[in-house]
A and B are shown apart, each in its own frame.
Chain A
């Protein structure tokens, strides 16, 4: 299956777009759900890549995604537990989960170098979409100072992951 990068990026942007149901922006419980789901989706893709990737560098990147996003989710869960906020499923987190499931289904059909390319291409688009959502929706909407601070703290990790994925993308394209 050939993946159109522009279409993929557009699709992910739509997933993170603020639905009219909460035009004022997601609430803190909804943000908590979006954060946990966004991290878990990338952890799941990383776990699949660890078993299927052909390139050692792609496997190393996949392990990094699992480790880093697990660390972010651990901190997010600890914070919402402390704040007594119950993550609330919402259209964005549901779309993220569906997008993650669809991505896994598509990746499972790939193998070898085609898998590596499909996985890394998706990682580039996914991290860009997450960063855009963090900047335009999640940080501006977060009401609790500690939740907002957590989002600000993890943003550089997403930037580093995006840069790393782009570098891999360039190497795989050679």
Chain B
């Protein structure tokens, strides 16, 4: 038969373990921020894997405007001025191909997984 002390000790250990697991999970799932540079030679990096809740910030390093516009309309920065930036918070999982509508040779992909 199990005594109250034994049960209580087991519960404390269990709670402690649960607390450790929770903080580890939190560290694993804490949203991250990624930066992509916009230049006419291309988006850098051109491909990025993120998790739901992560932030992706595009920074325009050129002398003229660019956009980051998803083919599936998941996001559209509209015109980002030189030295300007725009941030997208990743939502549902999926792969989003995107271009600069002003310079369609600029292509990239964001994979939310």
> Chain A interface (Cβ within 8 Å of chain B)?
64, 67-68, 70-72, 74-75, 153-154, 156-157, 160, 163-164
Q: Which residues of A contact B41 (CB under 8 A)?
A: 156
Contact in complex: B105, A160 (CB < 8 Å): yes
Distance, CA A70 to CA B105, complexed state (A): 20
Docked Cα-Cα span, A40 to B41, in Å, equals 23
Say how far B61's CB is from chain A's closest CB, in angstroms: 9
Q: Which residues of B contact A71 (CB under 8 A)?
A: 62-65, 82
Nearest chain-B residue to A150 (Cβ)? Answer: B63
A160 and B65: CB pair below 8 A?
Answer: no
Least CB distance, B97 to chain A, in whole angstroms: 19
Residue of A nearest to B41 (CB): A156
Residue of B nearest to A163 (CB): B105
A70 vs B82: C-alpha distance when bound (angstroms): 12
A154 lies within 8 A of B63 (CB): yes
Main secondary structure of the interface of A (DSSP, over half): helix
The chain B residue with its CB closest to the CB of A71 is: B64
With A71-B82, A157-B40, A163-B105 known, 12 other A-B pairs at CB within 8 A are A67-B102, A68-B64, A68-B102, A71-B63, A75-B82, A153-B63, A154-B63, A156-B40, A157-B63, A157-B64, A160-B40, A160-B103
Residues of A within 8 A of B65 (CB): 67, 71
What CA separation (Å) do A47 and B41 show in the bound complex?
26
A64 touches B102 (CB 8 A): yes
What is the chain A residue whose CB lies nearest that of B64?
A71
Q: Which among B63, B102, B103 has the greatest number of chain A C-beta atoms within 10 A?
A: B63
Given contacts A64-B102, A160-B103, contact A72 B40 (CB under 8 A): no
Looking at the assembled complex, report how far the CB atom of A149 sits from the nearest CB atom of chain B, in whole angstroms: 12
CB nearest neighbor in B for A73: B63
Indicate if the CB atoms of B64 and A72 lie closer than 8 Å.
Answer: yes
State the CA gap A164–B103 with chains docked (Å).
8
Interface pair B102/A75, CB less than 8 Å apart: no
Docked pose: A70 CA to B103 CA in angstroms: 16
Which residues of chain A come closer than 8 Å to B82, judged between CB atoms?
71, 75
Give the 10 A-B residue pairs with the shortest CB-CB distance, closest first: A71-B64, A71-B63, A68-B64, A75-B63, A156-B41, A156-B40, A157-B40, A160-B40, A72-B63, A160-B103
Give the residues from 66 to 84 in chain B that come closer than 8 angstroms, CB to CB, to chain A: 82
Chain B residues with CB under 8 Å of A72's CB are 63-64
Chain B neighbourhood of A157, CB < 8 A:
40, 62-64
Chain B stretch 29-54: residues in CB contact (< 8 A) with chain A:
39-41
